[in-house]
């Protein structure tokens, strides 16, 4: 795992966008497509707006969701709402290139299976994403892999459902799916993340985020989140 520390959240977002763009160009040159999954959060929306301005062969891009809250279409709780606003308005991306988790389905279990099939159709069998963007919660969760939820133990599905967390059930990619990704990009900002970022950096598998593969993982953090780690890592190192 590599860690890079930046002065502020905006700088982290811009660096993340540049990283994704570089990975996209390389993947499309090598395999003809770039399939990546995005998590929610304020800094990631800044990241996506910056990404939309990057030079990318957008016709070869497929965007998936790392996780999504079970909520009605257009609801502000939905990650998809912000994802579409950030990319469709500003990048040369067609709506069909953003693959939404079908959380409005009356049969959520069937919907999770359906999303896993979409991943397989685009990213192979078993599906391998070129890049997964992850955030880090103050409780150590990532994606919607939250402490104590049975979803942490799912090993036979690429997409699964959680129990209620912060008022809503979630659909999420599971560890098997995350851990096959060619590249993992962590974007971590804010002083409330200091303790969990240290534990992630130290490889603490007792937190959900610590169970994501460390090989090919890059952490971009601001100084507020890095805490004492900031003294050990300079920008770009």
Tell me what pLDDT residue 235 has. 55
Residue 11 pLDDT exceeds 80: yes
From the list 121, 125, 112, the residue with the least C-alpha distance to 157 is: 112
Tell me what pLDDT residue 231 has. 80
Q: How many residues does the chain have?
A: 237
- Assign residue 164 the CATH number of its domain: 3.40.50.1360
Q: Which residue has the tokens 């953003």?
A: 98
Q: Which residue has the tokens 């950096």?
A: 201
Crossing angle of helices 42-52 and 79-87, rounded to 10°: 20
Parent domain of 18: 2-231
Residue 19, C-beta contacts closer than 8 angstroms, at least 6 positions apart: 185, 218, 220
Tell me what pLDDT residue 82 has. 83
Residue 237 within any structural domain of the chain: no
Residue 237 pLDDT exceeds 70: no
pLDDT: which is higher, 42 or 190: 190
Question: For 213, phi and psi rounded to 5 degrees?
Answer: -50, 140
Q: How many whole angstroms separate alpha carbon 176 and alpha carbon 22?
A: 25
Bridge-based pairing of strands 2-6 and 217-222 is parallel
In tens, the pLDDT along 94-118 reads 999 999 999 999 999 999 999 999 9
How many structural domains comprise the chain?
1
Residue 33 within any structural domain of the chain: yes
Residue 118 within any structural domain of the chain: yes
In tens, the pLDDT along 154-212 reads 999 999 999 999 889 999 999 999 999 999 999 999 999 999 999 999 999 999 999 99
Q: How many whole angstroms separate alpha carbon 216 and alpha carbon 142?
A: 17
Q: Which two tokens stand for residue 22?
A: 């570089």
pLDDT confidence band for 87 (50 / 70 / 90): confident
Please state whether the peptide bond connecting residue 126 to the residue before it is cis, i.e. omega within 30 degrees of 0.
Answer: yes
Residue 101 within any structural domain of the chain: yes
Q: How many whole angstroms separate alpha carbon 203 and alpha carbon 210?
A: 6
Residue 67 within any structural domain of the chain: yes
Given a contact cutoff of 8 angstroms between Cβ atoms, the answer to whether 43 and 13 are in contact is yes
Residue 44 within any structural domain of the chain: yes
Given a contact cutoff of 8 angstroms between Cβ atoms, the answer to whether 13 and 222 are in contact is no
For the entire predicted model, the pTM comes to: 0.94
Q: Which residue has the tokens 């090989």?
A: 215
Residue 236 within any structural domain of the chain: no
Residue 115 within any structural domain of the chain: yes
pLDDT: which is higher, 126 or 77: 126
């Amino acid at each position: 795992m590599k860690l890079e520390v930046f002065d502020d959240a905006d700088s982290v977002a811009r660096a993340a966008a540049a990283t994704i763009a570089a990975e996209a160009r390389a993947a499309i040159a090598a395999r003809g497509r770039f399939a990546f999954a995005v998590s929610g959060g304020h800094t990631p929306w800044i990241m996506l707006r910056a990404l939309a301005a990057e030079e990318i062969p957008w016709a070869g891009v497929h965007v998936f969701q790392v996780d999504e809250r079970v909520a009605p279409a257009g609801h502000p709780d939905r990650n998809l709402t912000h994802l579409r606003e950030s990319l469709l308005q500003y990048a040369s991306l067609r709506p069909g290139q953003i693959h939404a988790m079908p959380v409005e389905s009356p049969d959520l279990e069937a919907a999770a299976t359906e999303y896993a099939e979409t991943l397989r159709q685009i990213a192979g069998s078993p599906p391998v994403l070129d890049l997964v963007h992850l955030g880090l919660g103050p409780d150590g969760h990532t994606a919607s892999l939250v402490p104590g939820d049975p979803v942490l133990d799912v090993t036979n599905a690429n997409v699964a459902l959680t129990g209620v967390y912060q008022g809503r059930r979630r659909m999420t990619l599971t560890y098997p799916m995350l851990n096959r990704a060619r590249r993992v990009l962590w974007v971590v900002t804010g002083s409330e993340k200091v303790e969990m970022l240290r534990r992630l950096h130290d490889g603490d598998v007792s937190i959900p985020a610590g169970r994501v593969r460390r090989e090919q993982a890059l952490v971009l953090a601001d100084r507020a989140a890095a805490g004492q780690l900031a003294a050990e890592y300079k920008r770009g190192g």
